[in-house]
Structure 1
């Protein structure tokens, strides 16, 4: 009897032999070992690295959230805190000037990224902790130690010469082909070193996109609010044009069933977090572009002008998760005319995991930049036919 040959495809059993995907094709944020903007300082004594990190952090902490990473030496005495020693896996202290959280279990790579997600600048002692980018110290007494770590030098961005260094080591020149194009400073040229990091952080400022929220069902109004013609065109398109002066790209957020009704050349971004209203629209935007910031504006703000948008953009603070206006009715932030930074994506998901889908609640309970609007009346939104008639009269008087 002739044997029958059977072909088994490991990727899946679909008839066309296409590769089977087990997981959704998500866009991941551009993170390193710890965060977006991280540098390992490597090549000098640990005391030198710590001192340099202190100088940089002290100079930049008023503008950016700075973090430092190091590893305790084996010869240091490290006694476990009391409650951990007694069996607890976690203990929390609310100190007068800071809070302290002690863990018993080591952090894996996911926990590390979550912990440092809010940091704008992360400096690490590269003698113990590699990072996405590196600063190399040429220190004669540490030549052998640096040579052992040469494989970690895959993205060197600056070279520093210690007092006892006369030239860059040959093995560094071999490992870093573009070494002669890098900034090279003496270790005591502190201001130039700080300026390097300041410029790098400025270059890393996330791109700003616009998102017009037009996916609501307008149940109180009785018809689509985004279709109202206040300024010679449908309001959703008017708002997109307003944002175009301040954003690199502008998208109209909509339900999937609305997408085909968005006119060209306007870009649309359908909700992928369904049933969550504006919260889902913001999350959908970050799911599509997790490394970019979003200037989110509701479509039902007919009095909003370039003046208010311009002030919001000018006062944008990337060190906080969002820049928002205070509501004209209370002290709370107004979430639907807000710049949401990439670092807010994790925060929004965290609140959702705890059962909250209110963007205002996220802003109230997070580190944000809260502004007074130049003209509070421009924050007026229209949800009912009665409010529509009032705004019509206001527009006629402008």
Structure 2
């Protein structure tokens, strides 16, 4: 008699995170002052476009009192400094907590003499040969090699330990422009792929029938919107409740809500649960006046460093959450809001770093929820067709 292996946990798609974030490099092989100087140059050059972070270990070996009230037993000490905010913790963070702390960062540079990251930049520095050799097993994904002053070649043990070393870019440590260009190219390559999500899972209680099934332009609106997204997205999904799934045309991808009872908020979370490393262009199916130019404007002005790119609603001057590009870094933010009892996408946008745009055609954001609004939208559409 055989028994099936019992699975304790649900299979989840995990984001492609390292020790700190998605894009992280440990700089290793040189004295710490050289590593810090290089990190300063890279961060200084890229910080206008990307949110950058740095991780290191204190070099002070003296026994000193913990800062602030930590010495008195506090677990957390927060100080609103004049030019920055300071958090001091009593306990070392777990790997999970550490990734939460760095979740806002697009790029993380790490002092590889003390910490590790999923990719490495190796500096060939003559006086650090023995130290670097001890770290050879940590060089799991070397993407750049830098030759320090008075060094002409890569160490032999590096060549032996990295069979592909000749395919790795090799620059001089003082070739700052090349090093910065390397990181710029890596960040451009890391731009999250954009998927589309048509929100069609609402119960349409005010309308009295399924809003997504209304035919404005010769096909049901949920399919019309999905087709409009094709030029901008790699994959497009129609978001729906479980009981709606059999009603969806088999020619369209379906993404069933797995965060149930939360409306659009749950649909967005369900999309990230399925593909956490993709960005999602989320659009409601009850915006019949949307035009292709609206999507073109949103996508062309997308800022991957913000958690989202959204239009400013002309009605109330708040971000419009239901035609928005949500970046992968918004996933933990959405979950954090949910943990505090909030399930409003607009509240997340209002209280987060968002790339907020002005829309050239405010009518495109017209929302249709009632039969009266439906008739008004029909008249507007017919008028536009007549004028054309």
The interval holding the TM-score normalised by the smaller chain is over 0.9
How far residue 328 of structure 1 moved from its aligned partner, in angstroms, is 1.4
Structure 1: distance between partners of 2:177 and 2:12: 41
Structure 1: distance between partners of 2:64 and 2:311: 47
Tell me which of 74, 80, 103 is aligned to 2:89: 103
2:184 matched to 1:189?
A: no
How far residue 96 of structure 1 moved from its aligned partner, in angstroms, is 2.2
How far residue 219 of structure 1 moved from its aligned partner, in angstroms, is 0.2
| Cα pair 2:80 2:86 within 8 Å, conserved | yes
The 3 A distance-change label for structure 1 pair 78 and 63 is: farther
**Mapping of 1:170-189 within 5 angstroms?**
170-189=156-175
**Mapping of 1:211-230 within 5 angstroms?**
211-230=197-216
How far residue 76 of structure 1 moved from its aligned partner, in angstroms, is 5.3
**Mapping of 1:1-398 within 5 angstroms?**
17-75=3-61, 78-398=64-384
Structure 2: distance between partners of 1:77 and 1:163: 35
How far residue 16 of structure 1 moved from its aligned partner, in angstroms, is 5.3
After TM superposition, the score normalised by the length of structure 2 is: 0.98
The 3 A distance-change label for structure 1 pair 54 and 295 is: same
Aligned length: 384
| Cα pair 2:21 2:108 within 8 Å, conserved | yes
Q: Which runs of no fewer than 5 residues in structure 2 stay unpaired?
A: none
| Cα pair 2:146 2:173 within 8 Å, conserved | yes
Structure 1: distance between partners of 2:120 and 2:265: 38
- Which string of whole-angstrom CA distances, capped at 9 and with x for unpartnered residues, describes residues 228-276 of structure 1? 0001100000000011110000000000111111102111000000000
Q: Report the secondary structure of 1:51's partner residue.
A: helix
- Which string of whole-angstrom CA distances, capped at 9 and with x for unpartnered residues, describes residues 288-311 of structure 1? 001100000000010001101011
Structure 2: distance between partners of 1:101 and 1:291: 29
- Which string of whole-angstrom CA distances, capped at 9 and with x for unpartnered residues, describes residues 75-119 of structure 1? 356541131112211111112221111101111101101100111
After TM superposition, the score normalised by the length of structure 1 is: 0.95
**CA-atom RMSD, angstroms?**
1.0
Q: Report the secondary structure of 1:157's partner residue.
A: strand
Q: Report the secondary structure of 2:325's partner residue.
A: strand
Structure 2: distance between partners of 1:32 and 1:194: 21
Greater CA drift, 143-152 or 67-76: 67-76
Structure 2: distance between partners of 1:60 and 1:117: 17
How far residue 392 of structure 1 moved from its aligned partner, in angstroms, is 0.5
Q: Report the secondary structure of 1:389's partner residue.
A: helix
Q: Report the secondary structure of 1:259's partner residue.
A: helix
The 3 A distance-change label for structure 1 pair 341 and 231 is: same
How far residue 74 of structure 1 moved from its aligned partner, in angstroms, is 4.4
- Which string of whole-angstrom CA distances, capped at 9 and with x for unpartnered residues, describes residues 300-335 of structure 1? 010001101011000110101000000111221000
Structure 1: distance between partners of 2:338 and 2:206: 26
Greater CA drift, 89-98 or 204-213: 89-98
| Cα pair 2:56 2:115 within 8 Å, conserved | yes
